[in-house]
Amino acid sequence: MTEKLVIIGNGMAPGRMLEHLLEREPDRYQITIFNAEPRVNYDRIMLSPVLSGEKDYEQIIIHGDGWYIKNNITLYKGHKIVAIDRAAKTVVSDHGAIEAYDKLVIATGSTPMILPVPGHGLPGVLTYRDLDDVNAMLLAAQSRDTAVVIGGGLLGLEAAAGLAARGMDVTVLHLMPTLMERQLDPAAGYLLQRAVEERGIKVITRANTKAILGKERVEAVELADGSIIPATLVVMAAGIRPNSGLARDAGLEINRGILVDAGMRASDPDILAIGECAEVGGHVYGLVAPLYEMARVAAARLCGDETAAFVHNDTPTKLKVTGIELFSLGDFADGDDREEIVLRDAAAGVYKRLMIKDNCVIGAVLFGETSDGAWFNDLKKKEVDISEMRDTLIFGQAYQGGSPLDPMAAVAALPDDAEICGCNGVSKSKITGAIITKGLTSLDDVRAHTKASASCGSCTGLVEQLMKLTLGDAYNPAAAQPLCGCTTLGHDDVRRLIKAKRLKTIPAVMQELEWKTSCGCAKCRPALNYYLVCDWPDEYADDYQSRFINERVHANIQKDGTYSVVPRMWGGVTSAKELRAIADVVDKFAIPTVKVTGGQRIDMLGIKKEDLPAVWADLGTAGFVSGHAYAKGLRTVKTCVGSDWCRFGTQDSTGFGIRIERFMWGSWTPAKVKMAVSGCPRNCAEATCKDVGVICVDSGYEIHFAGAAGLDIKGTEVLGLVRTEDEALEVIVALVQMYREQGRYLERIYKWAKRVGVAEIRLQILDDLERRKTYFDRFVFSQKFAQVDPWSERVSGKDKHEFRPMATVALAQAAE
């Protein structure tokens, strides 16, 4: 008989526990989760990048709605458990839901410490623990006003950096003499403060908060020395404590946290506790690596493995603030029984300190250059005798055994059991083994199969070096290559920093990201223009001079210097009026060649550049708009006649193709996008070699994507089957928007899909309904600002926002 497993809390620890449990015994338990937050499981480590703008919520979801459905897990969102009845073996939520259990896992996490100073309850005083806190801070940051962060630890500094990135004037107040005093020695704390202040954040140490001032809401913070710091927002980041009140009320044994044994069992044998709420071996934890180890042990015990046991290990500390390299591990306090090795490079801003006891590394602090962190961690874990390398130890692994090693050789020299990803406890051999046995070729593949670099991401460089080491020349990701010779940054880094730093003009990007040239080049300017158009559709003014010539003149340049014009024919359907207009233009401008294209449109070739405005003006009288045959955008939606005429047609493929094209035309994409809708599996519109294709069947619409029929020949991947035309439209639009946001400039959909992974795309677009709707809404929002009317700027000189009549018509017609 299937046992009932109830989990209180849906954070990272219980999420990882379920992954282990489902991998080992997927049918053992009927699983129910109660989550106090009104959402699915997400990566809390990545809240800081969400706050700073480097990521959004959808990008940090670990398990979307589809995952719970697929694994038959019942998830109660927004249900806080208020009582545990151990005698009846039931739990009760604040909404009155009652659930019985055979086994119960408590994963209630921690609660932020609120300083009990006058004014701590004023509106505008926030904590920093979950997505609701981040959303509240983002709302407050829209004022671009003043913020005070109380606490100079990890969370406090990440909050300060995020608010500063959002344009706020930020001051950090810290009680102790140096920042992060629990993780850093004073020297590293000084360097950290300097690096934080260089980012425009004020830091006040030895700051004892006396009161928070204000009448209706926060106005200032008063310190014990009488100083007054103005503030419209105050973030409390002064520490956390285990959230153990529910367990205490149920009669479980409590100390600082819920007391558990090495098997994660509480004082009731049918109850386990994991995560920040648990206390094991006298320790409570706030970093993710030990929480994931708790999850592994708990899953094993739930599967009947009584040998699984939690073992304490020191976990490195890393700060998630872009541009600040920091690593701290173990014991670095002074003492008579130990010695220290220190390296300082003031010019480079590098500081390294190793603590040695009995010829073993017991602690390390690295600032400014942290690549040897994994190696020092390995030496500490294994208690390696370092006496023979004592003189060169501080210089790192590359300098051991004679002449310096290059970085790749240093990674190769790491032992197989060296820990690469501290968050997830992933060793070198597990990564290289997965690459070889599973044929992994991308970073996303490695993350999916091993979890390495899937949490905080600080080990990404090491993982990529291992991939290069294992795959050789076969691993050559575009992200690792500079965008062009004007910068050392790749596409992904440029796009991430545009969002993080809120850069909204090409000159701002080049200045802030330290471009090597004054104005860029023909390779980087179009890419930057696309990223800015896509990321800031309502604020960035499309720079036509940064587009390729074909996009600037709405025509394709030919080898003889003339141009071809392809007016848009919605879904390949035309009329006598349109055909007459084309014929008149051909006669009037003596256009030498007229050709039907493979995309079911008419192409007029041999037009002089000086005639292009007049050609478009005449075509416009018939209602024609640009077919964007030249564009990095939606080009065609090829259709067959479908159910209206064909005896085999199952759906109105022509009508649906026109609906898609009218809804999506004028949207810029990283590379050209071609679509097709076939009315039956005979596939007359050739939908299975397009970027996005639809095969209409009796039961609905089969969505295909990632095909190619050019230099590369590739059949499509099947995304999935949907029942209605409305749902098919939403899926297609969301898919294209995901590609718009994640694709690198000039990267076709099939290459993007290979890099990201078809399974991940299917998860986000087909399985996760909430995320799909978010992508769809963002596309619709961007369409409001799309400039699609050809020649409007050059003909009239007016502002682009006055030239969106056809976009408005298209959206209205699509809605109908």
519 is in an annotated binding site: no
277 is in an annotated binding site: no
Q: Is the separation of the CB atoms in 324 and 195 below 8 Å? A: yes
Q: CA–CA separation, 102 vs 108, rounded Å?
A: 19
Q: Is the separation of the CB atoms in 599 and 710 below 8 Å? A: no
Q: CA–CA separation, 719 vs 763, rounded Å?
A: 10
Q: CA–CA separation, 142 vs 166, rounded Å?
A: 8
Number of CB atoms found within 10 A of residue 323's CB: 10
680 is in an annotated binding site: yes
What secondary structure, in 3-state letters, does 284-345 show?
Answer: CCCCHHHHHHHHHHHHHHHCCCCCCCCCCCCCCECCCCCCCCEEEEECCCCCCCCEEEEEEE
Q: Is the separation of the CB atoms in 226 and 209 below 8 Å? A: no
Q: CA–CA separation, 394 vs 390, rounded Å?
A: 8
User: Helices 186-198 & 154-165, crossing angle to 10 degrees?
Assistant: 10
Per DSSP, the residues of 166-185 read TT-EEEEEESSSSTTTTTS-
Q: CA–CA separation, 672 vs 383, rounded Å?
A: 56
Q: What is the distance, to the nearest Å, from the Cα of residue 83 to the centroid of all Cα atoms in its chain?
A: 36
Q: List all residues 6 or more positions away from 815 whose beta carbon is below 8 Å from its beta carbon.
A: none
Q: Is the separation of the CB atoms in 653 and 610 below 8 Å? A: no
Residue 268 backbone phi and psi in degrees, to 5: -100, 125
Q: CA–CA separation, 41 vs 35, rounded Å?
A: 9
Q: Is 799 exposed, middle or buried (0-12, 13-18, 19+ CB in 10 A)?
A: exposed
Output the CA angle 84-86-88, nearest 5 degrees: 100
Q: Is the separation of the CB atoms in 267 and 232 below 8 Å? A: no
Residue 647, token pair as written in the block:
């005896």
Closest CA to 104 of 245, 249, 3: 3
646 is in an annotated binding site: yes
Residues that constitute the known binding site: 640, 646, 680, 684
Residues that constitute the known binding site for siroheme: 684
Residues that constitute the known binding site for [4Fe-4S] cluster: 640, 646, 680, 684
